Every structure is written in structure tokens, then in C-alpha cells.
Structure 1
Amino acid sequence: MDDAGIEVFQADQSSACSRVTLRHLAGRDQDEFLGLVNASTDLHRPWVSLPSTPEQYQAYLARYAQPDEESVLICVRGSGAIAGVVNINSIIRGRFQSGSVAYAAFAPTAGQGYMTEGLTLVVRYAFEQLRVHRLEAQIQPDNHASLTLVRKVGFRYEGCSPELLYIDGAWRDHERWAITNTMIDIRPTPPHATLPER
């Protein structure tokens, strides 16, 4: 997927002072991405599993080339260093107009607020450019950093689902958090073409 949509979106943002920029995951990112995954093992486990070999990375890249999946890198403005990744998974159109977000910070820049800024931008990008109505995040109850992040961005708690996702070798309980395009101030955009009139 090319970055034209993200570039148009970022050009329209009034927050030119943001410390981060967005771009789609690409083949050229393999070495940096895998190095960051390796450096972030303690940060990610047991919350998330990212590709750690070239073969896994290529499969990951192929997955996010599909029209109902997007992988967006959060990069530090100026240096271009990758600070994190946000995936918009399982985008469903029609009456639902929804996607599920998953994300990870990388250890070298973790704890500096880049993920808060980046996820905020990705949410706006999803609502304004992809024109989804709703984004969901499923988070393990003990993942306090992730819960803090979604609260800061404006997601609301919707409940807990026992044994929802298979993570790190076991079925894990997850809290469900969501945000809709009516919960934040976004630029007016027409509905997606697949939304029925009634």
C-alpha cells in the first residue's frame, strides 16, 4: 500500500508541531523493524507477538497489503526512526464500518509519548481517510501501559471477554475498548461508499 492517503491526511492536519509522522510499513523497513522487535522482547512479552525473522516479516508485509488491513509506522519527526507500529485489522464495511487496532511501542523510544501522539493520529487517519466509524482495541487486563494509552486517546471501556485471543501460548482474557468518529472532533468527511443509505 502506498503512502499517498497518509500524506494527504498529514498535510491537512493543523498540528504541524507533532513529534511524529506516519507511513505505511514497507519492505525497506525489514532490518530496522526486526532489530527493534529483538530489542523490545521484554517490553512486548506476553502482550504482543511481532515478526522476528525475515520470513515472518515478509508474511506480515503480505498480510497488510490486503485491502481490509493496514499497518502504519509511527516515526520520530526529523530522524525518521520507527517508534512504534499500529495495525488496523479486519476492516469491515457495509453497516459496520469498523476495524480492530493492535499496536506496539519499541524499546529505544518507549515512554516518551510517541505512541500517544501516533495512535491519536492513526485514529484520526482511520476516521478521516479510511472513513471507518468505529475502532476497537482488545487489551489484556494486566497490560497497564496499553490501558493508559487508549484512555489518553479517548477510547471507552465496553466490557471484558474471557479467553478472547490466543496470545503467548494461552487463551487470554481481554478488556474491550472502542472509539467512534462521533467521540472526537474530526474533519467532516462523506461516509464510505459501502455504507447503505438506510
Structure 2
Amino acid sequence: MTINDRYLAQGPRVGIRHFTAADREEFTALARESAELHRPWLFPPADAAAYDTYLRRLQEPLREGFLICELADGRIAGYLTINNIVHGAFRCGAIGYGAFAHAAGRGLMSEGLRLVLHHAFEEMGLHRLEVNVQPANQLSIALVKRAGFRLEGFSPDFLFIDGAWRDHERWAITAEMVAGKTV
């Protein structure tokens, strides 16, 4: 098996695949190296125990986790999770994501996000994905805007992050908004 055979989907520069236990060392090292980029927005697992807990949670039926990896060398560029997946008439999920410092500003997360959107809408059968972003997180807002998400509202005191309840903007995208667009 070649490195590219592991991917669920591939674009020109990145592929997406599921998290594995074998990714623990690389992921946690990248999380530690990227702490300055992530703070105060997110806190990915930065040690083995936290990663193992995170990996176990991603095995729950209402979650999916994807690593966004560079095709050239397989290095993890970032990650995206779909949480609170609801099937039936709703067919929705909430996403969270993060880029690692070495990949930031290179367009790899944009490409990876588009791959995950196509996978979620085509393979997983979802219809709608939502993301909640703190208003001051302009890089994250720019990412979802590029992907075609629409701003749907504002949620005061929405998520408990870094010791306080934080306001968030609600962004969403549906399968129809992505249909026909290529990666």
C-alpha cells in the first residue's frame, strides 16, 4: 500500500483520512508546536493521554474525525471533526478544525475542508454542516467564507473555551451549496 492509498479523498495537494493511534506522536508534537497559533481559539490534544482520549471520542457513532495530510510526504497539515451528527430528517453535524503552524496560510486547510464537505455530503449522506467561530477569529472566518458557508447568526456565551463562555458566530453550508463544485 502506498501512502496515497490510505486517503478517503484526495485533492491536488492534500488527502483526508481518519485518525489512528499511529498518528499520536506526530499529532501531539504538531499541536505543541502550534500552540501560539491556536490560542485562544482551540486546544487540540498535546500529549499522549489527551490524544488517546480524543481518539476514543472520535470512535463514537455521532462523530467523525479527519486528518488533512499533504500528499507529497503524508505530513499532517491539520484536522477536522464532525460532531453531534444527527441522521433522519435533520442529517446535520457541527464541525471543528485546526491547522498546524507549518501548514497555515498555504491553502491546505481550504482544500482539505472542501474534501471533507464532499465526503460528508456524498458518502456520509449529510445535508447540512455548521461551524461556530469566535468573532475575533478572522482566519477561521476567512476559511469558512472561502468554502462557501453563510453566516446565519450570533450565539452569545455559546461555548466554554479557555475558562470562559465565549460568543460565537454561526456559519452553515448545505449539500446544495456545494453540489457541482470541485475541490
Smaller-chain TM-score bracket: over 0.9
Secondary structure of the residue that 1:183 maps to in structure 2?
Answer: helix
Residue of structure 2 equivalent to 1:196: none
Residue of structure 2 equivalent to 1:104: 98
Root mean square deviation, CA, Å:
1.4
Matches within 5 A, 1:21-36: 21-36=15-30
Matches within 5 A, 1:39-54: 39-54=33-48
Secondary structure of the residue that 2:176 maps to in structure 1?
Answer: coil
CA displacement 1:68-116 (0-9 Å, x = unmatched): 1011000001200000000001101111100000000000111100000
Would you say the 8 A contact 1:164–1:173 is kept in 2?
A: yes
Question: Which of these residues, 126, 136, 148, is aligned with residue 142 of structure 2?
Answer: 148
Residue of structure 1 equivalent to 2:3: none
Structure 2 distance, partners of 1:76, 1:183, is: 26
Residue of structure 2 equivalent to 1:66: 60
Question: Which of these residues, 79, 82, 85, is aligned with residue 76 of structure 2?
Answer: 82
Residue of structure 1 equivalent to 2:168: 174
Question: Which of these residues, 163, 172, 195, is aligned with residue 157 of structure 2?
Answer: 163
Structure 1 distance, partners of 2:143, 2:60, is: 27
Secondary structure of the residue that 1:182 maps to in structure 2?
Answer: helix
Q: 2:160 is aligned with what amino acid?
A: Y
Residue of structure 2 equivalent to 1:121: 115
Structure 2 distance, partners of 1:32, 1:48, is: 18
Q: 1:181 is aligned with what amino acid?
A: A
Secondary structure of the residue that 2:88 maps to in structure 1?
Answer: coil
The Cα of 1:186 is off from its aligned counterpart by: 4.7
Structure 2 distance, partners of 1:166, 1:66, is: 22
Q: Give unmatched runs, 5+ long, in structure 2.
A: 1-5
Would you say the 8 A contact 1:128–1:186 is kept in 2?
A: no
Structure 1 distance, partners of 2:28, 2:154, is: 32
Structure 2 distance, partners of 1:167, 1:103, is: 14
Q: TM-score, normalised by structure 1?
A: 0.86
Q: Give unmatched runs, 5+ long, in structure 1.
A: 1-5, 188-198
Structure 2 distance, partners of 1:150, 1:182, is: 16
Q: TM-score, normalised by structure 2?
A: 0.93
Q: Tell which structure's C-alpha radius of gyration is larger.
A: 1
Secondary structure of the residue that 2:178 maps to in structure 1?
Answer: coil
Structure 1 distance, partners of 2:18, 2:180, is: 21
Q: Alignment length, in residue pairs?
A: 176
Structure 1 distance, partners of 2:129, 2:180, is: 14
Residue of structure 2 equivalent to 1:194: none
Structure 1 distance, partners of 2:82, 2:146, is: 19
